[in-house]
A = this chain, B = another copy of it.
């Protein structure tokens, strides 16, 4: 499998690359070092295990950066930026960047809250491979006006397109906007993914889990493919989980089970049916 690192694959190849990436992830079980948040860290860890990665949640100064340089990928989730995280997020991201380890930024509630907004903007200079957020977070991070309220996206994915493109140009990376339809863009080409289930919005940390999955995939494939593979994997697992669910908690249980049961072929087929590529004029 040949992977391009800075360009987007044509639709058929993208679907195949996503399926191959999942098989690869399971074969290699990359270590994903996570600075994450206290509300959802257990779910993120379990989502990483279910997809085939090995999660590490070292968030203490001196340890976080130690692991970042040796990991397959790094996740920075700003949901609860406590004292240790505020101290070590800079060195951790610098260690990842310095070692060529891809890192993913999940700017939880950026825009609505000031401390994390300053941290997130500062981190952009270290060029995240992928920024993953909802429409309000992506708009706010790019400096656009945002209607976000805490972790809720009150802006639609369409409203985030210019901001996502601007962010992608600024970082040289990929931006993934999650919503009823997900959007992945590198600033030039965008893919929309019609996949998922409404119950994802009543489970705390579904977005955080997606951030973790994106990071896991960046350890084995190019950022654009990683973002598409992760978004579709979570969405497909949600679609398969919904019939097993009586409500949000049984849905979450089934969601993790289905992530675990997903195969590369399943994922490739669903990427093929979910994607709508928008090539620039």
Q: Tell me the A residues contacting B by CB distance below 8 Å.
A: 31, 33, 37-43, 45-46, 49-50, 54-63, 66-67, 79-84, 86, 109, 112-116, 149-152, 202-205, 244-250, 252-261
Contact B204 A45 (CB under 8 A): yes
Q: Which one of B56, B114, B248 lies within 8 Å of A46 (CB-CB)? A: B248
Kindly provide the distance from the CB of A218 to the nearest chain B CB, expressed in whole angstroms: 17
Q: Which one of B43, B79, B202, B255 lies within 8 Å of A57 (CB-CB)? A: B79
A39 contacts which chain B residues (CB < 8 A)? 41-42, 45, 57
Closest residue of chain B to A257 (Cβ to Cβ) is B247
Contact B42 A205 (CB under 8 A): yes
Q: Which one of B31, B54, B55, B261 lies within 8 Å of A247 (CB-CB)? A: B261
Q: How often does this chain occur in the complex, in copies?
A: 3
Closest residue of chain B to A262 (Cβ to Cβ) is B247
Contact B202 A58 (CB under 8 A): no
Q: Which one of B42, B149, B249 lies within 8 Å of A31 (CB-CB)? A: B149
> Lowest 10 CB-CB distances: which A-B pairs, in order?
A247-B257, A249-B256, A56-B150, A45-B204, A247-B260, A249-B253, A63-B113, A246-B257, A49-B202, A39-B57
26 residue pairs A–B, Cβ–Cβ below 8 Å: A38-B41, A39-B42, A46-B203, A46-B248, A46-B252, A50-B202, A50-B248, A54-B149, A56-B109, A58-B109, A58-B113, A59-B82, A60-B115, A62-B114, A63-B115, A67-B150, A82-B84, A246-B254, A246-B261, A247-B261, A248-B256, A249-B253, A249-B257, A250-B253, A250-B257, A253-B253
Q: In the complex the two chains form, what is the Cα distance from A274 to B113 in whole Å?
A: 41
Closest residue of chain B to A117 (Cβ to Cβ) is B63
Q: A50-B248, A248-B50 are in contact. Are A42 and B114 (CB under 8 A)?
A: no
Kindly provide the distance from the CB of A98 to the nearest chain B CB, expressed in whole angstroms: 18
A37 contacts which chain B residues (CB < 8 A)? 57
Q: In the complex the two chains form, what is the Cα distance from A234 to B244 in whole Å?
A: 23
Q: Which one of B61, B114, B115, B252 lies within 8 Å of A249 (CB-CB)? A: B252
Q: Which one of B62, B114, B250, B261 lies within 8 Å of A63 (CB-CB)? A: B114
Kindly provide the distance from the CB of A61 to the nearest chain B CB, expressed in whole angstroms: 8
Contact B249 A254 (CB under 8 A): yes
A42 contacts which chain B residues (CB < 8 A)? 39-40, 42-43, 204-205
A258 contacts which chain B residues (CB < 8 A)? 247
Contact B260 A202 (CB under 8 A): yes
A80 contacts which chain B residues (CB < 8 A)? 57-60
